[in-house]
A and B are shown apart, each in its own frame.
Chain A
């Protein structure tokens, strides 16, 4: 039997994990960026002050990059408060997480540490290790020149080679660089053809300097773009008539792809139906992997009410998560039914419109007698308010007390006022979701939110995840 304090601790951790998965400190449909940040900052301070070990352990879960950076920063800022043992385990977790973060985020973190005047020995060691593990120092020096320069200066590090040092701190003093990429960068100042061998973001500035037209630039730089850059610029390139290599949609991550699909006008979605559906299905299939078709009879209630528009910062994010979950669940289940709140049947044409009659949709879903019911919604059930909670409560207590149907609610939106994602009913576990790809792990995590498992199990779970993450990084290293 857990003590009262343990129950609260478990509750706090889950609450924080939900927040750290969903909130990115950006504006949401119901709250602005300021409220989100304020609310999130409080949670970070609270966790750090009360449960330092668990706070660090959260790094191993699927929290989003924004929060991972915040966690690492807070841990490093307060190194003095940690014991030697804590520092060792934190250090391993931080290193493992930094390895999976996108480099621009990490350079951003180093900048934030510099601004906060955090320069302890441990921070410098972490920066040194991360920088030495970067696969191509010259590439970093070209693409993240400012970030690298400030990081080197702040951590008192010597650049990998002498040439690199000159490149970063006094770039145009050399007549010639031995490293090909650095030499290309030097030549790009004077020679237009050279800039097309640089990474896209670095080349963009040179293109402006040389006055190259956007159309020509996008066509020729296309091979150098990353996957996401190609996806992002695909439509603006089309508009100005550039015909670069088209983005290979089947290789895109699922939720990104859903966002892209939803950004297209309806006519285009209808025209490219086969291509888009195939891309979504193959992305979902890749995520499902070995679990494909193993979830039994699944019914999903998917929210496409007006509030899934999100905000101008996170355009249609909640809807994109729902669309991605729709395809992922279709891949995971062997018998799948997806019900949209608006009553639409064609998922590809989803758009945020209308109220949220969740209660009725959940009833329709329960009519299909599923073994698993997944609800993807921001929890603003308003037609009528609170009905979904009542339906779920009556179903759990009266109609299905033996839990033949497992129900889970996934919520893509952090509710700043409540310091948690909005819940539908205390009888149904709610978990935050940012990328549909994490869905299987989140369903696992949501079981803890039901309050039937205690702190000990939760800690074991987090330790397992931490070991898994450390192993993965270790394997990566040894390869």
Chain B
């Protein structure tokens, strides 16, 4: 399993607002035995109508804040969680101290997210544990604590210009279970859930999501995108039936264009998958891209069923510098964190790689004297 399998999801015509294009994904048949944790629904009561639930497995998306703990204090789910019955508590949570003022500002029945930088940090820490072999060049801190804590910068959806309005005026399709968010036609995120009710509950949460700096800058600087308007060639048409066929053809063309052209960087790129948890017929995994510099790279979490079809998906587009960092880390990981081997593969000398790590923000991983040695070599 290397690419994403979106079987069962159909692409519907996109809706645009300014520079933001939202492409709805509709499930012909909703997945009924995997549902959003009931506690999250409790928080959204009054916002959504809930169909009868028969699910026996539930999930909590990464970063969701709710009163998970017994004593009623808020906590955040750390990584997407699967649990065996619909309202059990997630096991991995991260306690939060929310200031009184902040807590009061939030509406009572509103899903809340972790403070943003924390969530992204979590993402990267989940993917990279740090050096696996304690080569002598690595610092004690790198070996003991891995990459954590690392601060990654990202923009909350509310800061992405036009996204709030785009989500507000978006008309949710019946049966819609997912959406692909494009900003200036660059794929910003993909979000898929098992059931339309879940989507309805989580639609607005896209605004509290994370987006990379590229997306933020595009939204700020780029002109509005164009609609892909339908065009019916009229020379052949002699009857209403023929017109109807032409209309169906138009709809099919768009879906095909989107899946094979617009979303290729996510759908056709091979990902490295790491399976995290298996429960019933569902598997929770995280995936990393190949970190190809100067291309769209997406990390994410997915829940797949026994046939490998996506039931839940959430992705984040890495920024260019994050891709570079990821590239370095993945190369290091491929060589068991051996500096000389990695440098040889990248065609660099040891000191060049050392300084590249430093400039990428990983200087703290190297022992101070080793790093100083590299710097001295460069100077001479």
Contact = CB atoms under 8 A, between A and B. Distances in A.
B122 to A, nearest CB: 34
Contacts of B231: 386, 390
B102 interface: no
B171 A307 contact: yes
A82 B152 CA distance: 67
Nearest to B230: A387
A393 B250 CA distance: 15
B13 interface: yes
Nearest to B173: A355
A366 B237 CA distance: 15
B52 interface: no
A395 B243 contact: yes
A400 to B, nearest CB: 10
Given A398-B238, A399-B237, A387 B171 contact: no
B136 interface: no
Contacts of A366: 240
A386 B237 CA distance: 18
B25 to A, nearest CB: 13
A367 B15 CA distance: 27
Nearest to A400: B240
A456 interface: no
B239 A399 contact: yes
A355 B230 contact: no
A468 B232 CA distance: 45
A159 interface: no
Contact of A354 (B171, B246, B251): B171
Interface string B241-253: 0011011001100
Contact of A384 (B174, B230, B237, B243): B230
A30 interface: yes
A216 B377 CA distance: 92
A390 B169 CA distance: 24
A393 to B, nearest CB: 7
A261 B172 CA distance: 24
A367 B240 contact: yes
B229 interface: yes
B315 to A, nearest CB: 24
A307 B169 contact: yes
Contacts of A110: none
Given A355-B12, A359-B247, A384 B240 contact: no
A363 B240 contact: yes
Name, among B13, B171, B172, the residue most crowded by chain A CB atoms within 10 Å (CB to CB). Answer: B171
B227 interface: yes
Contacts of B234: 393-394, 397-398
B247 A387 contact: yes
Given A354-B173, A391-B243, A385 B229 contact: yes
Contact of A355 (B171, B227, B237): B171
A29 interface: yes
A76 to B, nearest CB: 38
Contact of B230 (A30, A305, A354, A359): A359
A384 B231 CA distance: 10
B264 to A, nearest CB: 21
A323 B246 CA distance: 31
A360 B247 contact: yes
B295 to A, nearest CB: 29
Contacts of A307: 169, 171
A133 interface: no
A386 B230 contact: yes
Contacts of A382: 13, 15, 171
Interface residues of B, number: 29
B254 interface: yes
B254 A384 contact: yes
B230 A390 contact: yes
A8 interface: no
B232 A390 contact: yes
Contacts of A342: 174
A356 interface: yes
A306 interface: yes
A264 interface: no
A30 B18 CA distance: 12
A112 interface: no
A394 B171 contact: no
Interface in B245-273: 246-247, 250-251, 254
Nearest to A30: B169
Nearest to B234: A394
B227 A385 contact: yes
Interface in B142-183: 169, 171-174
Interface string B12-28: 11111000000010000
B243 A385 contact: no
Interface string A210-244: 00000000000000000000000000000000000
A29 B251 CA distance: 26
A307 B247 CA distance: 23
Nearest to A386: B229
A383 interface: yes
Nearest to B236: A398
Contacts of A384: 13, 228-230, 250-251, 254
Interface string A15-55: 00000000000000110000000000000000000000000
A125 B231 CA distance: 58
Contacts of B227: 385-386
Interface string A38-78: 00000000000000000000000000000000000000000
B24 to A, nearest CB: 8
Contact of B13 (A383, A389, A393, A397): A383
Contacts of B250: 384, 387, 390
Contacts of B16: 385
Interface in B1-58: 12-16, 24
Nearest to A385: B227
Given A354-B173, A399-B240, A391 B232 contact: yes
Interface string A364-395: 00110000000000000011111101110111
Given A383-B12, A385-B228, 7 more contacts: A306-B172, A355-B13, A383-B173, A387-B230, A390-B232, A394-B243, A398-B237
27 contacts: A307-B171, A355-B12, A355-B15, A355-B24, A355-B173, A356-B171, A367-B240, A383-B173, A384-B228, A384-B229, A384-B230, A384-B250, A385-B13, A385-B16, A386-B227, A386-B231, A387-B232, A389-B229, A390-B230, A391-B232, A391-B243, A393-B234, A394-B243, A394-B246, A395-B243, A399-B238, A399-B243
Interface of B: 12-16, 24, 169, 171-174, 227-232, 234, 237-240, 243-244, 246-247, 250-251, 254
